[in-house]
């Protein structure tokens, strides 16, 4: 019975903001702030960037919004974006997130064309194999071959000019999977040969800081808090843009949920202190 009350309290705490649709402003997140400013200052029109959506249904709650805000930022800056994944269960998100961003931008009159501004490579098995090949390949268009529908990349405008890894301005990787980030760091020799930006789930935030400090990753988005602050920065830099209400709603719920958990910890300890369990 007590357990049910705890569960019901949790649903109430996180559910009330969702069902009554009220929002709080996300607080400053230093890592996301630095990430945004890095992208804003270093990525220019025509720069080649890679986005890896290495997340599935288990972590889409945190990685999905990260991928969405960063993709939107890159497309607004008119960078050339190649979207791929090394996780089989991420395939639907490659299309759904890209489509959602494209539709959002088109509503604002920012026209983005598949095959010209971005292309979805799709799922590539065996990240060790592919990432090692990236550093050795003379033409990455040939290495990637086709998009997720099987159309040769050379048929698209984005695939007209061959390029190697030195032309990649930045690689953005979003994942909550154990060891995935380490695979990129090991086989792409990030920090030395390539700039890697990482969007992680909240669980791996303390772990990711060791790579941020060593320069092996150039930027870090910390779960939902990071993507919420990034979202608010996008609204600040592009004032005509419509904010992502769903993301702000999720962050508001998270805020209340965290306070509820803290309340439970304190309540449990107080009751235990006074001898009642």
Partner 1 sequence: MLAQYLLRFLAFIFGGYFVFEFFSPQSWKESLQLEKINPVVLNALTTVSAFAVGLGVINLFITHGKRVFGLYRRWFFSLVLLSSFLITTFCGFYSFVYIESRNLQIKFLEALETNSFEVLSIKHPSIARKIFLACPIQDSSCLQILKDQLNREIEQSKSGLVSNIFKVLSEGLLFPLGAAMFSLLAFYIASASYRAFRFRSLFGLVLLASALIVILGQNSLWLSQFEFFLDLRAWLLNNVSMAAFRAITFGALIGGLILAIRIWLGMEKLK
Partner 2 sequence: MSLEVFIVLLAGFGTLGVYSFLIKENSFFRLIEHIFIGIAAGYTPFYVFQNFLWPKVFVPLLGLNELYGVDVEFPTFERLAYIVAIVVGLFFYAQYLPKRLQILVVIALTISLAASAGLAIKGIFTELVPQLQSSFKPILVFNPEFDFLESLSNIVFLATLLLSLTYFIFTLYSSEAIVSRRLLTVAKILLLICFGAFFGSTISARLSLLIERLVFLKEEWIPALLGLF
Summarize as ranges the residues that interact with partner 2 (CB under 8 A): 4, 7, 10-11, 14-15, 18-19, 58-62, 64, 88-89, 122-126, 128, 145, 152, 176, 182-183, 185-187, 189, 191-192, 201-206, 210, 213-216, 222-225, 246, 249-250, 253-254, 257-258, 261
Residue 58 binds partner 1, judged by CB under 8 A: yes
Q: Where are the beta strands (DSSP E) in the chain?
A: 48-54, 80-85, 118-123, 168-175, 196-200, 219-222
Which lies closer to partner 1 via its Cβ, residue 16 or residue 262? 262
Q: Quick one: 16 or 261, whose CB is closer to partner 1?
A: 261
Q: Smallest Cα–Cα separation from 86: which of 47, 46, 137, 133?
A: 133
Our CB check for partner 2 shows the closer of 173 and 253 to be 253
DSSP conformational letter for 26: P
Neighbours of 131 (CB within 10 A): 23
DSSP-derived pairing of the beta strands 48-54 and 80-85 = parallel
Helix (H) or strand (E) holding 249: helix 245-273
Question: How near is the Cβ of 4 to partner 2 at its closest, in Å?
Answer: 7
Q: Is 222 in the site for partner 1 (CB under 8 A)?
A: yes
Nearer to partner 2, 67 or 185 (CB): 185
Site membership for partner 1, residue 10 (CB under 8 A):
yes
Residue with tokens 């719920």: 253
């Amino acid at each position: 019975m007590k357990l049910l009350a705890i569960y019901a309290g949790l649903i109430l705490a996180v559910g009330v903001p969702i069902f009554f649709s009220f929002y709080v402003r996300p607080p400053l997140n230093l890592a996301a702030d630095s990430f945004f400013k890095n992208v804003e200052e270093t990525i220019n029109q025509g720069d080649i960037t890679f986005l890896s959506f290495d997340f599935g249904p288990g972590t889409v709650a945190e990685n999905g919004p990260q991928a969405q805000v960063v993709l939107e930022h890159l497309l607004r800056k008119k960078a050339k974006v190649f979207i791929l994944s090394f996780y089989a269960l991420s395939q639907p998100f490659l299309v759904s997130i890209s489509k959602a961003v494209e539709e959002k931008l088109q509503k604002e009159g920012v026209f983005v064309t598949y095959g010209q501004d971005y292309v979805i490579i799709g799922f590539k098995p065996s990240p060790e194999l592919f990432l090692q090949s990236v550093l050795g390949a003379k033409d990455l268009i040939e290495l990637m071959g086709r998009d997720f529908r099987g159309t040769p990349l050379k048929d698209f405008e984005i695939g007209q000019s061959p390029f190697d890894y030195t032309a990649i301005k930045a690689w953005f990787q979003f994942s909550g999977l154990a060891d995935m980030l380490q695979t990129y760091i090991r086989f792409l020799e990030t920090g030395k040969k390539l700039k890697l930006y990482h969007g992680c789930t909240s669980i791996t935030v303390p772990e990711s800081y060791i790579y941020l400090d060593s320069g092996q990753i150039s930027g870090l988005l910390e779960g939902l808090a990071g993507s919420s602050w990034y979202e608010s920065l996008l609204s600040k830099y592009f004032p005509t843009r419509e904010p992502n209400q769903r993301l702000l709603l999720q962050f508001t719920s998270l805020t209340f949920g965290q306070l509820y958990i803290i309340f439970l910890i304190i309540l449990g300890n107080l009751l235990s202190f006074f001898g009642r369990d």
